[in-house]
Structure 1
């Protein structure tokens, strides 16, 4: 029996294929080609695997084998922490008055971000001097515990937020933090999706990575696929309801080390059981935003 067949046998019939794959690869000490692995599984398991992102399956397997879901992820995190960046917004949220907006009950009077009542609630805080609201990276959000954020490989929903949200009025300009080029311009129209979405590709000392900007207005000034952007350039504006996916005006900002098998969209939330893998794929955006840790506390 080949290593791929051994791994496939360990997956057949398992309720959580991600966990089973991770452990089977660790035991086998072999990295299977995902198409070959799917072909070696029984029909039911093969169909479940084939329905999810092949790049994510490869990242899970790679983590089981090497301890790193994306090669060079740890080194990239170190480099991102020191690279020169331009603020996403002016004034810079790192120095302007901000308020943390956790969704786990710390602000019991706060409407949901998808509730139009959020706008007047936040406007009251802005009138008292708050400039930006901040949604937290790594937060477990119950709003995502719906079938839209499920897949066939696991009973676990994707509920862990992989970006930082910055709430500000619709139309607020967004600036490029780094030099790069436009990888994707897309409109993701599903309810609670990104709406207008921009993904930039960057090169840092020979390492490629991406930044994602979700919930934008339709005005993407002068951008076109493969076009270049410079630090500080206005690349977008915050979208309003409903063009931004059905949310209060804000940006979802995310770092991505591997686009997996996606095009024009990307996972904004991940599985809690795979957080070590997702944090390699989408490390903390504060590596680039440089907000004080106190910005994220109530």
Structure 2
């Protein structure tokens, strides 16, 4: 039996409770919270409780998400339909890293990006999974449990003109169709649930207002079916038209039609199990990200 008062004492005064939790070793969340002082308990209770349990499991040497490895194996071998027509792999594309590698590229949230992207004369631009992005510096990407903001991108972005159709890569059921209205949020957002070794989920963010006419909660979708269109600036959260495509091995405690699109760099071993690489489904060759 862990010595919970001693473990709880190690959390007192810690500015980054997530990292501190990772260092505790085997522990269960409920008795740990009961042993914490009021400030630490309130900070921990203010964030996603299943995320905290995933951190504790990883810190104890287990999988942060039970079955995360089995899901990666499943996604690497399951048949998938192309999400775009023409398929990205059938023509040129350009990688769009955000750390200054392309000196004249405007930010994705700058309307000048549209003109710049059109001038590249390629049908698709690719934003990177696992990339640290400085744009996520506003308070909505922070919480009380840590001084570290969530800055590591957990999806793959595909840039193309507003109105571009998105096709379902896998069979699934519509879990949610929601408009997330905060600035720099997803705008119109679709989440599908899929069968695998355990249920898993895909998220389609920054979509157009046509979404609600294409999908309703409980609908079954088939591979290749048009499920959404790229949204324009006024309907997609305030971004250049693109799809944010993300895979989730668990929805954690997020049940309102939204999900974290970026994670903490210091928790990447956990977040990368919660949200594995979407290229397991997109299946673009490595050169598309360079």
Q: Give the TM-score taking structure 1 as reference length.
A: 0.93
List runs of 5+ in structure 1 lacking aligned partners: none
SS of the aligned residue for 1:142 comes to coil
Give the superposition deviation at 1:96.
Answer: 2.1
In the other structure, the counterpart of 1:214 is 205
Change (3 A) 1:187 1:4: farther
CA contact (8 A) 1:8 1:41 kept: yes
CA contact (8 A) 2:214 2:228 kept: no
Moved more, 274-283 or 10-19: 10-19
Give the superposition deviation at 1:11.
Answer: 1.5
Give the superposition deviation at 1:65.
Answer: 1.9
Correspondence 1:261 to 2:256: no
CA contact (8 A) 1:94 1:289 kept: no
Give the superposition deviation at 1:226.
Answer: 1.4
Moved more, 35-44 or 154-163: 35-44
- The count of residues paired between Structure 1 and Structure 2 equals 288
Correspondence 1:133 to 2:128: no
1:181 aligned residue (157, 173, 176): 173
What's the C-alpha RMSD, in Å, of the aligned pairs?
A: 1.3
CA distance in 2, matches of 1:219, 1:36: 47
Alignment of 1:7-86 (within 5 A): 7-24=7-24, 26=25, 29-30=26-27, 32=28, 34-86=29-81
Moved more, 192-201 or 145-154: 145-154
SS of the aligned residue for 2:195 comes to strand
1:206-234 per-position Cα deviation (integer Å, ceiling 9, x unaligned): 42100000000011243111111000000
CA contact (8 A) 1:7 1:21 kept: no
Give the superposition deviation at 1:35.
Answer: 4.1
In the other structure, the counterpart of 2:274 is 281
1:123-157 per-position Cα deviation (integer Å, ceiling 9, x unaligned): 1112xxx1100000000000012222111111111
CA distance in 2, matches of 1:196, 1:35: 36
Correspondence 1:166 to 2:158: yes
SS of the aligned residue for 1:158 comes to coil
In the other structure, the counterpart of 1:295 is 288
Q: Give the TM-score taking structure 2 as reference length.
A: 0.96
CA distance in 1, matches of 2:231, 2:90: 24
Give the superposition deviation at 1:114.
Answer: 0.3
1:124 aligned residue (119, 131, 152): 119
Give the superposition deviation at 1:12.
Answer: 2.0
SS of the aligned residue for 1:280 comes to helix
CA distance in 2, matches of 1:54, 1:242: 33
List runs of 5+ in structure 2 lacking aligned partners: none
CA contact (8 A) 1:170 1:238 kept: yes
CA distance in 2, matches of 1:123, 1:149: 30
SS of the aligned residue for 1:154 comes to coil
CA distance in 2, matches of 1:3, 1:103: 45
CA contact (8 A) 1:185 1:224 kept: yes
SS of the aligned residue for 2:99 comes to coil
CA distance in 2, matches of 1:5, 1:91: 59
In the other structure, the counterpart of 1:247 is 239
In the other structure, the counterpart of 2:194 is 202
CA distance in 2, matches of 1:39, 1:240: 47
